[in-house]
Amino acid sequence: MSDAERTAGTRTPDAESVEAQLRRLESIVDQLAGDGIELDAALKLFEEGVGRLRAVTSRLAAAEAQVKTLVEESEGDFTLEGLDE
């Protein structure tokens, strides 16, 4: 079993920090750009990458919405509701 096969899909993307997911995405891109990767391993890596990209995009959109809510509070009151972390 190759490194790509061993590491593909071993963690749930939603459970990791955005930074960790971005590092993993960079690793996936490097592996896919390299020579000698088998088609099945490449497909698994691609699928993992798409899942991680969607998870990161979703988390960034949620963070943007929270910042927007904070900035748009009226009368100078700053509150941030729904912050899970």
Q: State the pLDDT at residue 67.
A: 82
Q: Locate tokens 């899909």: which residue?
A: 9
pTM of the predicted model, to two decimals? 0.64
pLDDT < 50 stretches in the chain:
1-9, 85
User: pLDDT at position 2, please?
Assistant: 47
b vs e for 21-45, b when ≥16 Cβ sit within 10 Å of the residue's Cβ?
Answer: beebbeebeebeeeeebeeebbebb
